[in-house]
Each structure stands twice: as structure tokens, then as C-alpha cells.
Amino acid sequence: MASASGEQKPSSLASDAEPVFRVVEDQDTRRGIRLERAYWQALRDIAITTRQKAGSLVSAILHQAPDVANATSLVRVYCLQWALKELDTARQISNPSLVVNLVRASPSPAFALGLDKRIIAYNQSFLVFVQARFSYAAPGPIGRDFRLALDVHLADLAASLKANGNTPTTVGFVVGLGDRRLRGNLNSVLAPVTGQDIILCYVLP
């Protein structure tokens, strides 16, 4: 994107790729290292997570492979491995099957909705909630004549939850069975999954 003066502003990628020279200290050892800005940010995040100073972290990294002459390459590889491990951990805990477990774990009536309005999961408490209010005689799962809708567009709700840090948001909902309708309120949050937006809904008393 060009500025008003016609100069080209560097992109975030270009800025992150800019080499930066810094001196890090660990006790009596001082090292000068030139790394791309993105790697300095990664080092800072790792140091905060592991509760140590950047200099101590760099010393620990270099100590793992003392025979490697190129210190900067070693630091880059360490940062990449750390990021890949964090990504793998995130993938393990964000599996879509987690949605079913989160819904089932709720002691109150709960269900999960996809942005296509499809009910992905619901718990036994929600089934009892429906049966009690509609004298629903069928002992099995909720039938095809069951209807459920929130008072807001699901895509708008998902966008709002992303914008507010996924703070639980109270919205109204309507359930219907045959020609009967029932209104209520629920707390909604985004499920911690990747690849799709799923809204967890917890019915309020």
C-alpha cells in the first residue's frame, strides 16, 4: 500500500523479515546475535512462557548443540520446533470431537450449533429439557420435527465472539416442536476448534 507521499510502506511480512542485531546477556556472558525481527519476537514469547530471560534462553539453546558453529541457525531451528510443538498441541485439544465432550460435560442443558444452523451435539439434560416442556413422548433422540433458532444470525454472533475475546454472550433462542414454540435465553461461546466456527450454547435457568 502506498502512502500519501508515494512511498511504499513495508508489509508486515517484510518488517518481520528485517534482520535486527541485539546483545543478550546470561550471567557473565554477552552475545551479539543478528536475527530476523520475527525470531526475536518468538524468543521473547518463549522466554516469557518458560519464565526466563532471553539471554538465558539463548544460552540454553546453544548448550543443546555446542558443536554447531552457526548460532543463529540453531536459534531459528529451535524457535521453529517450539512453534510446531505448540501447533501440534493446539491441534490435539481442538479436535472437533472435543465439542461433543464439552456439551456432554455440562450439567445444564447444552448444545452446539454450526453456522449452517445444524445441531452438531446436545446433551441428555437438553433432551430432558425438551421432553419436559413439550411432553415429548419419544424416548430416543430429538426428531426431525424439532426446530431451534437463535435471535441473532449465527455468523454475526461468531464474529462478535471473536471480537470480544470469546466472552460468553447471552442471546435469546426459540425451540419448536410441531406447532408449539418456547422461548428462552442461553450463554454462547465459540468452541475451541480449528477449521470451522461452532457455537456452544448453554441454556440459562
Q: Which of 161, 144, 143 is nearest to 201 (CA)?
A: 161
Cβ neighbourhood burial of 191 (10 Å; 0-12, 13-18, 19+): buried
Residue 192 has a pLDDT of 86
Residues with Cβ within 8 Å of residue 8, at least 6 apart in sequence: 1, 2
Under 8 Å between Cβ of 132 and 151? no
Residue 195 has a pLDDT of 74
If one compares 150 and 146, the residue with the highest pLDDT of the two is 150
| Residue pLDDT, tens place only, 25-50 | 888 788 899 999 999 999 999 999 99
User: What is the rounded average pLDDT of the residues 45-69?
Assistant: 90
Cell of 32: 551479539
Given a cut of 60, is residue 161 above it in pLDDT? yes
Q: Mean of the per-residue pLDDT values for the chain?
A: 86
Q: Which of 192, 191, 194, 193 is nearest to 202 (CA)?
A: 191
CATH class, domain 12-93, is: mainly alpha
**What's the CA gap between 120 and 186, in Å, rounded?**
17
Q: Is the C-alpha dihedral spanning 156, 102, 98, 127 positive or negative?
A: negative
| Residue pLDDT, tens place only, 107-144 | 999 999 999 999 999 999 999 898 888 875 555 567 67
**What's the CA gap between 98 and 174, in Å, rounded?**
26
Cell of 16: 518481520
Residue 31 has a pLDDT of 87
Under 8 Å between Cβ of 199 and 154? yes
Q: Which of 188, 192, 185 is nearest to 200 (CA)?
A: 188
- State which H helix or E strand residue 180 sits in: strand 180-190
Residue 60 has a pLDDT of 92
Cell of 51: 519464565
Percent of the chain exceeding pLDDT 70 equals: 88
If one compares 138 and 5, the residue with the highest pLDDT of the two is 138
DSSP 70: -
Residue extents of the structural domains in the chain: 12-93, 97-203
Q: Which architecture, in CATH terms, is 97-203?
A: 2-Layer Sandwich (3.30)
